[in-house]
Amino acid sequence: KHALNIVKMKKMKADGVPLSMLTAYDYPSALLAEEAGIDLILVGDSLGNVVLGYDTTLPVTIEDMVYHTRSVTRGARNTFIVADMPFMTYHGGIDETLRSVRRLMQEGRAHAVKMEGGVEICSTVSAVVSAGVPVLGHIGLTPQSVNMIGGYRIQGKDAKDAQRLMDEAKALEAAGVFGIVLELVTEEVAEAISKAVSIPTIGIGAGRYCDGQVLVFHDLLRYASPYRDKRFVKTYADVGTLIREGISSYVQEVKERSFPAESHVFNADEHVLDSLYGA
């Protein structure tokens, strides 16, 4: 299997072939996602929520992202992998931004980076793209700005907000992004944006007419995720219950001494008994 690239992604959009994207944060999740045939993997800073147990994505550092991206790229060697730029790593000077991009690409071995924001990040996007690094945009609900937005609310409900999102998408396309994540955007607005740009849109809680869909690994699999019951999430497997039941059976069998059983043990030679007990 050949890894996808940004040229093929644009062609897939033109041909009407949807892109499937999933987050992954470590070796096993990446390995399983690749084996399952996912098109793209996102090492999302949602790892702050679902792996590290923070309330927001703000505490996630570049160190966290490099470490997890490297684990993911070891697990999925033939899949296009996008790494999130963490909070406050792309709003300073371009040199500082490029240092973080370099770490995700060279140490993490990602194929592309993702940045949240609209018109205000377009010059940064252009500079990173000029350095030869594909950039995925991300507009709508942008969790790194939760303290400005004032909560995790749906974007693009009224005409003014819809126009702002459309303007942001067009500006990002002009700045050179290879695709745009639309998060928690009304279906009508996401559809209009998807028609207005020639690069793929990848939706999460953004309806049926995006060019692709992305979900968080732990949400999709009901794997101890705090967000698994959100309206836009569909649970495809209940891994959390499976793991909890497995661990609880183990605990019980240890308590009642039914594990380990005879089949799990290693035996010494017969004469060892005599020497140990001095027969």
Residues that bind Na ion (CB under 5 A): 44-45, 84
* Angstrom distances, CA of residue 93 to CA of 89, 121, 135: 9, 12, 17
Peptide bond into 260 cis (omega under 30): yes
> Phi and psi of 182, rounded to 5°?
-110, 110
Per-position x/- string for 161-200, each x denoting binding to ligand KIV as judged by CB under 6 A, each - no binding: --------------------x-x-----------------
Burial of 55 (0-12, 13-18, 19+ CB in 10 A): exposed
Tell me whether strands 19-23 and 201-204 are parallel, antiparallel or unpaired: unpaired
Residue nearest to ligand KIV (CB): 44
Choose the one of ligand KIV, Na ion, none that binds residue 144, judging by a C-beta under 5 to 8 angstroms depending on kind.
Answer: none
Q: Let me know if 173 is a catalytic residue.
A: no
The token pair that represents 37 in the structure block: 């045939």
Judge whether 145 is annotated as a binding position. Answer: no
**Residue 84 lies near ligand KIV (rule: CB under 6 A):** yes
Q: Restricting to residues 196-255, name those near ligand KIV by CB under 6 A.
A: 204, 214, 216
Separation between Cα atoms, residue 65 and residue 84, nearest integer Å: 7
**Residue 124 lies near ligand KIV (rule: CB under 6 A):** no
Judge whether 114 is annotated as a binding position. Answer: yes
Task: Name which of 26 and 183 has its Cβ closer to ligand KIV.
Answer: 183
Separation between Cα atoms, residue 113 and residue 166, nearest integer Å: 22
Active-site pick, 173, 183, 188, 253: 183
Residues that bind ligand KIV in the complex, under the rule CB under 6 A: 23, 42, 44-46, 84, 181, 183, 204, 214, 216
- Annotated binding residues for Mg(2+), as ranges? 45, 84, 116
- Annotated binding residues, as ranges? 45-46, 84, 114, 116
